[in-house]
Amino acid sequence: MGFKAAALQFTVILAGLLFGLVPASGQERVVKLVGFGDSLMAGYQLPPQEALPAQLQRKLQAMGVAVEIANAGVSGDTSAGGRSRVDWSVPDGTDGVILELGANDALRGLSPAETEANLDAIIGRLNERGIAVLLVGMLAPPNMGPDYANSFNPIYPRLAEKHRLAFYPFVLEGVVTKPELQLDDGMHPNTEGVAVMADGMLPVMQAFVEEILKKGK
């Protein structure tokens, strides 16, 4: 390559970076994700910039992963609520969804079979739309008893296997037993707790984005 050609190529790349045409990470495009869930996704009592989607986005971008994560979390939402709103909460052009629902189902003692059917329907609908899914699991609270837990807890690995999904087994990993990482209600994570959640999810998130890019080529 001659000097003039090399200089021209450098100028084009530089212009692309300056005007947002080429992501700084070297990715061909920015991957657009939606965090679809309940209060654990919405960021209950936290500033929007400290909710899980925002913290994941910042951490991934710091790693050179060009990604945007919209927050479609609704506090108090159940799997049935998610099923009813999935089409309008996840816009066209979305590359992938971080699906985190079921905590409120368990807290209310709803039928695990119904929870599984709702999540299965959400995943199926997203698959129909060509949107990748990262399934985030939940565990039944201890006060629900072992019988309920034995019915509820296997929902997520079973669905992940059935649909061959990217999977993170427990959204509150590293937070659930640590009061210093929770709000005063003892249920929801504080800002530091969300950071722990995001750090735990990072390897799965990075692989999820890479798989989306691979399939898009």
User: Which of 92, 147, 184, 185 is flagged as catalytic?
Assistant: 185
User: Which of 75, 95, 188, 199 is flagged as catalytic?
Assistant: 188
Active site residue 39: yes
Among 217, 196, 189, which Cα is nearest to 39's? Answer: 189
User: Which of 39, 77, 79, 105 is flagged as catalytic?
Assistant: 39
Active site residue 185: yes
Encoding tokens for residue 3? 């000097």
Active site residue 163: no
H or E stretch at 167: strand 166-168
Among 88, 90, 96, 100, which Cα is nearest to 52's? Answer: 100
Query: Rounded to whole angstroms, how far apart are CA atoms 66 and 81?
Result: 30
Longest C-alpha distance within the chain, in Å?
73
The phi, psi pair for 133, rounded to 5°, reads -130, 130
| Catalytic (active-site) positions | 39, 185, 188
